[in-house]
């Protein structure tokens, strides 16, 4: 176990296996390769930080000249995952574990590992280098989680001597830091537990409280009397096993791990009772200490875990402890004896159970053979066993997992020894629960919703309503009074929308996220928990969720749970069902009893003066008709499927409020032009020069659930669930002219000329100049962009006024002249001809 690290899914699938450090030749490929380990690593531990959702791995490295190394070094190697998935990125930290005690260097051994919301706590016993390996004491390293978790270049790490700092006269040995769940009281970071103390006939626990761990730590020691559990400082006899005289080493009575939760400190060790049923036999023991009064810690409960229920004369040893959110205690441990091969077991002390009691142990893995591996080439020759076991709480569903060692069938001999061991882990719960039963029908459904429904109108469906619609299926539970709920472990429609839930009656909504059997969304059947689907714009169709029944015996409403283990006391049903939601559309309805119209325009209106008409304004002129839609939050638009006036002008549309225009083009039921009523989209008619009259276009209502603004679509099939109304309507535009208005209150004149002026010297007068001289009169026109000119319909002076009317335009163009040589007494006929600037030209006559 010291040689490698591996991890598996909860279903048992191995995802990784690596050496921890250097093998005989290389570090390449090892887990701690980034820290360049000098040799094989030892004493690894792994915990999960349930607060920050990360894995933490610690292993130790030692170089010793007495063992042939070139230097004496000691390092604590630390790795943390960057999230809850160990298959991703890891951050690494190497801590110097060589500590000097009064001039003597020591190396770190047998680490303790724990976390709270601020820090990682690592404890070690310190031994001298060389052959003697003399114990000198223990130390605590506090690592700033924030630094390490953000991959800081130099994370803050400080080393402390809690024994001396708390006023102890001697060093505390094997201090186990408590893994903290929740917020410890006051400024407490964690507690350090050591059980190798006595007071008279009673065993003591030395508990050192660590306050202000990151700022200015202080250490306060308390003695907690554990009772007269064994003869003071007994030597453990080790446990016999069938088939061999070699016993399994059971170590001693030091604390093996500790947990703090809900104002109690829990820890375990092995004791050797001097009397009673377990007299003279190693026995696992658990403790519960109240921390509600920090100045006076007291033992609240404790108990031994005897092995007689497993087999006669069975020893229990190397325990580990965990506590769930309901204060149920789980203890995993090893068991062996003269009638039992070494195996892995666990037991539970439920909240409210008799003080000191535990339930009959449950077998996790039975031993299959005797085990002997003393490694006699080493310094001790001990038949070591599993003092690195663990029992933990699953952060997803509050269940327990226990990891332990058991004896396998003996294998290939090495040095005359052939023992083999295996590791077994398993999940269990403290809940006395019978799983619910789900009878699937596939008929459950959520309230249907419409395409493009606004979130404000999408109120979702109560989980209780969804369950009631499972008929003829449904959910039942043999446990009377168990509440109902569902655990969503699959979903479709995630690419076309988002599934959301609310636990407060719809005031707030949260995405259910990526759901699976590893992370199912838990939703209670109550008056406030809702599920809804928020479709992407334009999506129309069906989405589904798969779910199992959830009896709420573990997990929290709105949280997640693991639903792959659905047997026995599981809170989840074995069977699953499907629930669907339909995202539908009802075609808009068009009432064509009105006479919609565009803003009228004048003949020859310049484009700059032709802003067109907003689509929403055209729809507003449909009264007493109009467009309606039964779908909540429906939006409006039109689909133009016919045009008139295409020979006398051009229809254009703009989707940017007139900044740019494009031709509507040829339209029909196969390629209708789609225009949205959105405050930006306009249509206009650009008449040919001189045209006056009426142009029209035909249209149907468009609810914008398909197609895009400015695009085209086939609208031959309409009504029903389509985006188009069955009925159609015409909108017209009038191209009109308003006569100009002449105010004749002025006296306009041409430029004066002399008698007998030669034609070459007679340039005439510009029409716009004549008009400008009409002041205080003038010419006005109500038509936007109208141009000006005059129509000469009379002349004075000899000869008599001509009978023809001459039109004079105020623009570049024709000249008015008289041809030929003037004859006295005769006024020749005038005509319009030529090009260039347009003056009036005339000769004076007598």
- Residue 643 tokens read as 């045009």
Q: What is the mean pLDDT of residues 684-697?
A: 96
Q: What is the mean pLDDT of residues 235-260?
A: 96
In-domain check, residue 730: yes
Contact yes or no for 149/138 (Cβ under 8 A)? no
**Residue 3 sits in the same domain as residue 137:** yes
Q: What is the mean pLDDT of residues 543-565?
A: 92
**Residue 644 sits in the same domain as residue 682:** yes
* Residue 145, SS3 per DSSP: helix
| C-alpha 318 chain-centroid distance | 41
Q: Looking at 117, 136, 160, which one is the last position of a domain?
A: 160
**Residue 11 sits in the same domain as residue 127:** yes
In-domain check, residue 729: yes
In-domain check, residue 209: no
Whole-number pLDDT of residue 796: 80
Poorest-pLDDT segment among 62-76, 512-526, 821-835: 821-835
Whole-number pLDDT of residue 380: 56
Nearest to 256 by CA among 404, 392, 388: 388
pLDDT at 745 over 50: yes
Q: Which residues neighbour 722 within 8 Å (Cβ) at sequence distance 6 or greater?
A: 585, 587, 706
Q: Which residues neighbour 340 within 8 Å (Cβ) at sequence distance 6 or greater?
A: 241, 242, 307, 310, 311, 314, 367
Q: Looking at 702, 736, 770, which one is the last position of a domain?
A: 736
Residue 164's φ and ψ, nearest 5 degrees, are: -65, -45
Q: Which residues neighbour 65 within 8 Å (Cβ) at sequence distance 6 or greater?
A: 71, 72, 129, 130
pLDDT tens profile 141-176: 999 999 999 999 999 999 999 999 999 999 999 999
Q: Looking at 719, 736, 753, which one is the last position of a domain?
A: 736
In-domain check, residue 223: no
Kindly report the three-state secondary structure assignment for every residue of 228-245: CCCCCCCCCCCEEECCEE
pLDDT at 802 over 50: no
Confidence of residue 837 (pLDDT cuts 50, 70, 90): very low
For tokens 């006595």, what's the residue? 198
pTM of the model: 0.58
pLDDT tens profile 760-798: 999 999 999 999 999 998 999 887 777 889 999 888 865
Residue 455's φ and ψ, nearest 5 degrees, are: -60, -30
b (16+ CB within 10 A) / e for 795-811: eeeeeeeeeeebebbbe
pLDDT at 464 over 60: yes
Contact yes or no for 715/640 (Cβ under 8 A)? no
In-domain check, residue 214: no
Rounded alpha-carbon distances, angstroms, from residue 823 to 512, 513, 752, 829? 103, 102, 21, 12
Contact yes or no for 561/553 (Cβ under 8 A)? no
Contact yes or no for 302/372 (Cβ under 8 A)? no
Q: Which residues neighbour 245 within 8 Å (Cβ) at sequence distance 6 or greater?
A: none
In-domain check, residue 293: yes
Confidence of residue 839 (pLDDT cuts 50, 70, 90): very low
pLDDT at 305 over 80: yes
**Residue 633 sits in the same domain as residue 744:** no
b (16+ CB within 10 A) / e for 474-498: bbebeeeebebbbbbbbbbbeebbb
pLDDT at 224 over 60: yes
Beta bridge partners of 219: 210
Q: Which residues neighbour 631 within 8 Å (Cβ) at sequence distance 6 or greater?
A: 450, 451, 452, 453, 585, 586, 703
In-domain check, residue 202: no
How far apart, in whole angstroms, are the C-alpha atoms of residue 313 and residue 283?
Answer: 11
Rg of the chain in Å (alpha carbons)? 47
- Residue 17 tokens read as 């296996």
Q: What is the mean pLDDT of residues 280-305?
A: 97
b (16+ CB within 10 A) / e for 253-271: bbbbbbbbbeebbbbbbbb
Number of domains forming the structure of the chain: 5
Nearest to 247 by CA among 255, 235, 238, 256: 238
**Percentage above 70 pLDDT, the chain:** 93
In-domain check, residue 663: yes
For 451, the domain range is: 437-584
Q: What DSSP string runs through 204-272?
A: EEEEEEEESSSSS-EEEEEEEEEES-SSSSPPP--EEETTEEEEEP---S---EEEEETTEEEEEEEE-
Residue 334's φ and ψ, nearest 5 degrees, are: -95, 155
- Residue 619 tokens read as 């729809």
User: How high does pLDDT run on average in the chain?
Assistant: 91
pLDDT at 112 over 70: yes
Whole-number pLDDT of residue 1: 55
pLDDT at 418 over 60: yes
**Residue 154 sits in the same domain as residue 271:** no
Confidence of residue 843 (pLDDT cuts 50, 70, 90): very low
Number of neighbours of residue 18 by Cβ within 10 angstroms: 15
pLDDT tens profile 356-405: 999 999 999 999 999 999 876 444 578 999 888 999 999 988 889 999 99
**Residue 153 sits in the same domain as residue 4:** yes
**Residue 313 sits in the same domain as residue 328:** yes
**Residue 557 sits in the same domain as residue 673:** no
pLDDT tens profile 228-237: 999 888 899 9
Poorest-pLDDT segment among 248-252, 379-383, 582-586, 634-638: 379-383
Task: Find the CATH number of the domain harbouring 517.
Answer: 2.60.40
Contact yes or no for 10/562 (Cβ under 8 A)? yes
**Residue 46 sits in the same domain as residue 103:** yes
**Residue 131 sits in the same domain as residue 247:** no
Whole-number pLDDT of residue 353: 92
Residue 439's φ and ψ, nearest 5 degrees, are: -105, 115
Whole-number pLDDT of residue 376: 64
Helices (H), 408-509: 463-468
Whole-number pLDDT of residue 522: 97
Q: What is the mean pLDDT of residues 437-457?
A: 92
pLDDT at 823 over 80: no
Whole-number pLDDT of residue 846: 27
**Residue 294 sits in the same domain as residue 425:** yes
The pairing of strands 572-584 and 449-450 is parallel
Whole-number pLDDT of residue 61: 97
**Residue 358 sits in the same domain as residue 409:** yes
């Amino acid at each position: 176990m010291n040689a490698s690290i591996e991890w598996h899914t909860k279903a048992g699938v191995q995802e990784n296996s690596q050496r921890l450090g250097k093998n005989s030749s290389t570090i390449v490929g090892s887990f701690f390769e980034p820290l360049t380990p000098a040799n094989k690593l030892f004493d690894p531990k792994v915990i999960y930080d349930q607060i920050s959702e990360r894995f933490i791995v610690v292993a130790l490295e030692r170089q010793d000249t007495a063992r042939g190394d070139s230097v004496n070094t000691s390092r604590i190697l630390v790795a943390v995952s960057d999230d809850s998935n160990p298959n991703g990125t890891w951050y690494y930290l190497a801590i110097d574990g060589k500590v000097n005690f009064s001039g003597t260097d020591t190396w770190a051994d047998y680490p303790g590992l724990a976390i709270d919301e601020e820090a990682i706590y690592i404890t070690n016993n310190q031994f001298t280098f060389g052959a003697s390996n003399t114990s000198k004491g223990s130390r605590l390293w506090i690592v700033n989680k924030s630094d390490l978790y953000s991959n800081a270049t130099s994370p803050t790490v400080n080393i402390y001597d809690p024994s001396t700092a708390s006023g102890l006269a001697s060093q505390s040995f094997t201090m186990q830091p408590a893994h903290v769940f929740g917020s410890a009281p006051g400024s407490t970071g964690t507690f350090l537990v050591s059980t190798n103390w006595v007071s008279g006939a009673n065993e003591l626990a030395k508990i050192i409280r660590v306050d202000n761990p990151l700022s200015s730590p202080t250490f306060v020691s308390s003695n907690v009397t554990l009772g007269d559990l064994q003869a003071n400082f007994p030597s453990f006899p080790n446990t016999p096993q069938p088939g061999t005289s070699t016993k399994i080493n059971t170590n001693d009575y030091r604390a093996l791990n500790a947990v703090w939760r809900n104002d109690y400190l829990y820890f375990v060790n092995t004791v050797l009772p001097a009397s009673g049923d377990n007299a003279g036999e190693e026995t696992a023991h658990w403790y519960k200490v109240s921390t509600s009064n920090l100045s006076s810690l007291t033992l609240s409960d404790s108990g031994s875990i005897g092995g007689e229920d497993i087999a006669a004369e069975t020893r229990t040893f190397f325990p580990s402890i965990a506590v769930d959110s309901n204060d149920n205690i789980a203890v995993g441990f090893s068991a062996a004896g003269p009638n039992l091969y070494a195996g892995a077991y666990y037991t539970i002390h439920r909240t409210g159970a008799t003080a000191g009691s535990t339930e009959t142990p449950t077998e996790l893995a039975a031993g299959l053979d005797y085990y002997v591996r003393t490694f006699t080439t080493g310094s001790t020759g001990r038949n070591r066993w599993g003092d690195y076991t663990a029992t933990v709480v699953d952060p997803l569903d509050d269940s327990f997992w226990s990891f332990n060692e058991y004896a396998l069938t003996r294998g290939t001999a090495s040095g005359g020894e052939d023992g083999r061991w295996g590791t077994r882990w398993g999940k269990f719960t403290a809940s006395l629960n019978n799983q619910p039963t789900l009878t699937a029908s596939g008929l459950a459904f959520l309230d249907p919703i419409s395409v493009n429904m606004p979130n404000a109108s999408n109120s979702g469906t109560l989980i209780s309503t969804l369950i009631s619609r499972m008929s003829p299926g449904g959910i039942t539970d043999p446990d009377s009074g168990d509440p109902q709920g569902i655990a969503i472990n699959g979903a479709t429609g995630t690419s076309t929308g988002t599934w959301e839930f609310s636990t407060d009656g719809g005031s707030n909504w949260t995405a259910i996220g990526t759901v699976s059997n590893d992370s199912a969304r838990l939703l209670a059947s109550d008056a406030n928990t809702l599920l809804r689907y928020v479709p992407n714009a334009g999506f129309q169709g069906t989405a589904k969720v798969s779910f199992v029944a959830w009896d709420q015996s573990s997990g929290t409403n709105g949280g997640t749970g693991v639903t792959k283990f659905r047997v026995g006391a599981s809170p989840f049903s074995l069977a699953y069902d499907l629930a669907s939601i339909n995202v539908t559309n009802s075609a808009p309805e068009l009432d064509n009893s009105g006479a919609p119209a565009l803003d009228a325009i004048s003949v020859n209106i310049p484009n700059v003066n032709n802003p067109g008409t907003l689509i929403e304004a055209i729809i507003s002129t449909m009264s007493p008709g109009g467009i309606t839609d039964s779908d909540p939050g429906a939006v409006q638009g039109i689909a133009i499927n016919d045009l008139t006036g295409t020979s006398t002008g051009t229809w254009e549309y703009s989707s940017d409020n007139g900044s740019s225009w494009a031709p509507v083009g040829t339209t029909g039921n196969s390629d209708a032009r789609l225009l949205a009523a959105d405050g930006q989209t306009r249509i206009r008619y650009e008449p040919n020069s001189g045209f006056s009259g009426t142009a029209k276009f035909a249209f149907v209502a468009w609810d914008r659930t398909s197609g895009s603004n400015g695009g085209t679509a086939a609208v031959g099939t309409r009504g029903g669930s389509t985006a188009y109304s069955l009925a159609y309507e015409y909108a017209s535009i009038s191209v009109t002219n308003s006569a100009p208005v002449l105010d004749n209150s002025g006296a306009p004149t041409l430029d004066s000329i002399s008698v007998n002026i030669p034609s070459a010297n007679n340039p005439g007068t510009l029409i716009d100049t004549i008009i400008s001289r009409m002041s205080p009169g003038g010419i006005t026109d109500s038509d936007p962009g109208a141009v000006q000119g005059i129509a000469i319909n009379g002349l004075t002076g000899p000869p008599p006024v001509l009978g023809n009317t001459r039109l004079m335009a105020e623009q570049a163009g024709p000249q008015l002249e008289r041809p030929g040589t003037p004859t006295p007494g005769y006024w020749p006929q005038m005509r319009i001809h030529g090009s260039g600037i347009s003056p009036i030209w005339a000769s004076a006559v007598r």
